[in-house]
Amino acid sequence: MRTIKGPAIFLAQFASDTAPYHSLKDIAHWAADLGYKGVQIPSWDARLFDLARAADSKTYCDEVKGILAQSGVELTELSTHLQGQLVAVHPAYDHAFDGFAPVALHGNPTARQAWAVDQLKLAARASRNLGLTAHATFSGGLAWPFLYPWPQRPAGLIETAFDELARRWHPILDAFDEAGVDLCYEIHPGEDLHDGVTYEMFLERVGNHPRANLLYDPSHFVLQQLDYLDYIDIYHERIRMFHVKDAEFNPTGRQGVYSGFQPWVQRAGRFRSLGDGQVDFGGIFSKLSQYGFDGWAVLEWECCIKDSEQGAAEGAPFIANHIIQVASRAFDDFAASGVDQAMNYRILGL
């Protein structure tokens, strides 16, 4: 067994044009002052990071790590959630997702997808230059609009969608393999990879690619009413990243999983700050430790009630208190009898 690293924090929800969130140096100091030991960087935010430069310049990557080190934090991983989303977009969402791409690409889905693929390949090289071993992303979604089968789905529709999804991602996975970095899909509603079954459908189509791994975030499973502890038992060999995010699900006689198109604060399922929801983090940290996960425990703050500053301040000690320093010896070593192999044979009557 190995000990989980942390606490760390994903910077995407905090970066802004206002100090101290407007530069890598200042936001790193802010995170360190709150007790975080690592930061996860959104690769699309130019205020914090230059992805293209990192892909081509080891010197720039050393500068980034140096800035973080001066603040007392490490870089845990890079994220391409927004770019990954654009690898596969159903036409129904074209206008909504244009905002994730440069303005020059708006209204041009083909060019937008090509840009997204290039961004992922840049992220593979940048991760290698930074000495990282895992990377966070989304799968995108071609089949998501057909989640509920009404009207009846045409035969082969989902299979065709997943065939195409795999075709688009396979070269990207190969690029990450060449870089020696695991590509970790955040299993998430809105993505074609939104639960274990869909992940398995994808994994089969990419030939069980060794780099097609998982970012574990239990909050999305609470909202789907999926057993997030059993999920660890099933997929622990593929879990390479961990977002520590809380959630709650409170169904009523008026709404359930779909929540009637209501805003977040009025939904039956909603994300909460750490400790305010229903996630059994004691069980999660125990299972991940049991299976030898030694990656970072990274806070992803999303809450429709609590202010982000309070959520971030409470998050570091919450994670620190859940990290298990794994045992270096068996608890019952004191009662060891020192029996040798000859005695074992005698005990068994052999």
- Which pLDDT value is given to residue 1? 77
- Determine what percent of the chain is predicted with pLDDT higher than 90: 93
Domain regions of the chain by residue span: 5-347
- Which pLDDT value is given to residue 224? 96
Phi, psi of 199 (to 5 degrees): -60, -45
**254-263: per-residue pLDDT in tens?**
999 999 999 9
pLDDT of 338 above 90:
no
pLDDT of 334 above 90:
no
Higher pLDDT, 300 or 348: 300
**96-116: per-residue pLDDT in tens?**
999 999 999 999 999 999 999
CATH superfamily of 5-347: Divalent-metal-dependent TIM barrel enzymes (3.20.20.150)
**145-178: per-residue pLDDT in tens?**
999 999 999 999 999 999 999 999 999 999 999 9
3-state secondary structure the chain: CCCCEEEEEECCCCCCCCCCCCCHHHHHHHHHHCCCCEEEEECCCCCCCCHHHHHHCHHHHHHHHHHHHHHCCEEEEEEEHHHHHCCCECHHHHHHHHHHCCHHHCCCHHHHHHHHHHHHHHHHHHHHHCCCCEEEECCCECCHHHCCCCCCCCCCHHHHHHHHHHHHHHHHHHHHHHHCCEEEEECCCCCCCCCHHHHHHHHHHCCCCCCEEEEECCHHHHHHCCCHHHHHHHHCCCEEEEEECEEEECCCCCCCCCHHHCCHHHCCEEEECCCCCCCCHHHHHHHHHHCCCCCEEEECCCCCCCCHHHHHHHHHHHHHHHCCCCCCCCCCHHHCCCCCHHHHHHHCCC
Higher pLDDT, 327 or 43: 43
- Which pLDDT value is given to residue 335? 63
pLDDT of 332 above 80:
no
Lowest mean pLDDT among 58-67, 167-176, 299-308, 341-350: 341-350
pLDDT of 298 above 80:
yes
**40-73: per-residue pLDDT in tens?**
999 999 999 999 999 999 999 999 999 999 999 9
**80-99: per-residue pLDDT in tens?**
999 999 999 999 999 999 99
Residue 328 pLDDT level (bands cut at 50, 70, 90): confident
**188-217: per-residue pLDDT in tens?**
999 999 999 999 999 999 999 999 999 999
Query: Rounded to 10 degrees, what is the CA torsion of 340, 346, 349, 350?
Result: 70
